[in-house]
Amino acid sequence: MIKVLFILSAVLMGVASFFAYQNGRTFAATRESKATIHKNIKTEQGLVNGIVDSINQTIADVARVQGELDVEAEKLKAQKLKMAQAESETKRAQADLDSSNAKLAEMKKELELLPPDVKPETLQEDLNRIKQGIAELKAKSESKQTEVDAEMSKVAAVQRAVDNLARKKEDRQKAFERNSMSFSVVAVNSDWGFVVVNAGEPEGISESTKLIVTRGTQTIGKINILSVSGGRTIANILTDTLTPGYSIAPGDKVILENLYQ
């Protein structure tokens, strides 16, 4: 029995050794495979890192190139601006040149109109001579104008004197004509002491006019105007001016008191 157990133990130990050996080989292979995998991973990781570095370098190169492109674009923009400015200056210079040519053409035409004895070489001297002649003529003209103004002042003074004399003559004539007029007493109211005269506003009579009543060559008395209405005048009889023995009656003549009323 013990022998059997010993044999079984030996067999079990053999089987165990076999499996231990077999597991050791498997473990070693697994460990070697894992190490290979780790090695491959490190290799791949190195490759990936190289690729990433290359990509980063490429991005940096792209950024650098883009910066250079931006700089070149700014330079191109500035160059275009300078070209536009140069073109504008060229157009302005051409316009100035055209204007100068036009002025030159006008000056040539004006030079062609100059008198034969006037030349461009002596133009300034001729201009000075002409200016001097104009100044002399202007001085003479001003002197003559002063004389004319003095004579005109004398004429104006004489004209004013003539106008004054004519006006005085006209006023005197009007006064004579006015005072030469005579009117008549057309009615007498002895109770109230007033008379009615056949003259009024058309004859130039107003309430301030002084009137005298006459009969032939005899002065009868004076009357004081109360009112003037149309062609009739009503006046009070100034009794203290009546000539003794006379009274105003219809038909008596009425004249102005003052010659130059």
pLDDT at position 185: 96
Digit-coded pLDDT (tens) for 87-119: 878 788 788 878 877 877 777 776 666 666 656
Q: What's the rounded Cα separation, in Å, for the pair 85 and 46?
A: 58
- CA 206 distance to own-chain centroid: 60
pLDDT at position 260: 39
Give CA separation, 89 vs 21, 84, 96, in Å: 100, 9, 10
CATH number for the segment(s) 182-256? 2.40.10.340
pLDDT at position 261: 39
- CA 248 distance to own-chain centroid: 81
End-to-end CA, the chain: 200
pLDDT < 50 stretches in the chain: 259-261
Q: Is 232 helix (H, G, I), strand (E, B) or coil?
A: strand
* Nearest by Cα to 194 from 256, 229, 239, 257: 239
Q: What is the pTM of this model?
A: 0.34
Backbone angles phi, psi at 224, to 5 degrees: -115, 120
- CA 177 distance to own-chain centroid: 63
pLDDT at position 257: 81
Residue at token pair 């001016």? 241
* Nearest by Cα to 233 from 179, 192, 185: 185
pLDDT at position 17: 72
**Contacts of residue 199, Cβ cutoff 8 Å, sequence gap at least 6:** 181, 183, 205, 231, 232, 233, 254
Q: Where are the beta strands (DSSP E) in 126-177?
A: none
Domains in the chain: boundaries: 1-113, 120-180, 182-256
| Contact predicate 218/246, CB 8 Å | yes
CA angle (227 as vertex; 171, 213 as ends), nearest 5: 65
Give CA separation, 115 vs 38, 112, 134, in Å: 115, 8, 17
